[in-house]
Amino acid sequence: MKPAIGLLAALAASIGGAAAFDVNCNSNYASYYGQNSARNQKALGEYCKDATEDVIVLAFMNGFPNILLNFANACETTFEGSSLLHCPDMAKDIKYCQSQGKAVILSMGGASGAYGFSGDSDAIAFADTVWNMFFKGKAEQRPFDDAVLDGIDLDIEGGSGAGYPAFINQLRTHFASDSSKKYYIAAAPQCPFPDSYLGTTLNSAWFDMVYVQFYNNYCGVNAYPTWFNFGDWDNWAKTKSINKDVKVFIGVPGSPSAASSGYVDGATLTSIYNSVRSKYSSLGGIMTWDCAIFNLDVYLDLNLYKLGTVQHNQYFHHHHTQGCNGQKFAICNSGSWYTGSCPPGTSCYLNGNAAVCDWPNGRSTDACAVSGGGAALSKRQDFAKVSLITRPNLRPKPANAKGSRPTRVEFVAGDIVDNKYSMVVKIQSNKSAFTGNWSIAFTLPDGQTVDSTSRGAASTGDKSVTIKSDPSSEEAKNMAAIFKITGTFTGNYALPDT
């Protein structure tokens, strides 16, 4: 088990090679890669050179069952005579990341693209295709050549929910045919519960991890503790999920510019993480969007307990041996023993080739067994009250836009403080890209005003609102536009109906 840097007061000591990803622990760190959000995205392998990452999610397969892949500048070459990406450099990096104990999974969906299944038969056939192209099957064209991924993530933000349970079941049948490695199924729902697109699938198919997007919504980490609803997802994990050991991650933006709302600083995130960890045993760790925009020095506290002098974003690589005895630890470093005690309230545990100072609450006995004196760690009962924030008038509202091209619009509640609100507007093309010269008009509920927009310019009349882009600051072609609106309201806040 490896703590996410700055999110735990913890110590990690690796012996020999890299420790493999352990899905059962609650301090895992996952992040998305491939969309070059900060325009400085490095090669995939660069993000696997230290112990920060546990899971890297490749984003995205944003078109299916007619496959369309988009990893921005990480891969721009295609197979000859085809539009399918061929990514030999990423293939080498995938293998390198896996050799460092990372799990690398492929995300399907995203905020833009053309995807979805017509029904179960369509989904089952596509599961066979995915197995052959990205896992242990065989296909003439494999985007990552002979590299074998570790799983699939569903980031479904549009279309219908048809076929996804059948897709997962068929893919897991393939996974079961290969005993040489562990495969994972993940999902990335938005925090309003239940999720608008994956709600039914989450209740009827197996998931190992759920990366809940606690941002761009009223229930994000920035709304902690009033509206933050991890309790709803913990309750789902324990009472509704097919896999009662599913792990729920706190999904956050990696910097203020990574999302329209939901960013909090490192100290605040650390406090929220520690609170969730003490209450909810379903916690799996932290997820961030995304690798390119994540600012480690700014975002994290870096309150990792250190042994001697170590780089702030590294773990401690000590060779030969280590040991635990209650709160005490001992590590052999280049022929010399270093001994010490864990911070107050924590104890030393062994997990595979790692010695870890960690809190006992919410720990999985099987995955992170106690060492020393034959002591046994009993699983705690979680009596934390479930928040059950399920305000129907605050759930995301999708609508098909009426206009010159097939477009989908979604309104998502953001911050709600006193009589002020913020709302995220997501525009997604269902087919071809739209130009930088666009506009959207909609009707506000009674008692609401619009004061500002983070993209383009807003004009209002009675209850109507029109947002018109500034073409000089837009890309020439867009599959999606996401921006934030702020304003005031009277009475009960509600999202626009259209």
Residues with catalytic roles: 157
Cβ neighbors of 259 (< 8 A, separation 6 or more) are: 215, 216, 253, 289
Burial 8-24 (b: 16+ CB within 10 A, else e): bbbbbbbbeebbebbbb
Beta bridge partners of 484: 424
Report d(CA 168, CA 164) in Å as an integer: 6
| C-alpha dihedral, 355 to 179 to 249 to 154, nearest 10° | 160
The residue whose two tokens read 């806040």 is 493
C-alpha triplet 315, 319, 325: angle, nearest 5°: 80
| Residue 73 CB neighbours (<10 A) | 14
Peptide linkage before 194 cis (omega within 30 of 0):
yes
- The DSSP secondary-structure symbol of 85 reads B
**Long-range contacts, stretch 78-83, CB < 8 angstroms, 24+ apart:** 79/141, 82/141
Contact 412, 216 (CB under 8 A): yes
Backbone phi and psi for residue 72, each to the nearest 5 degrees, phi listed first: 50, -130
Q: Residue 485's Cα: distance from chain center in Å? A: 24
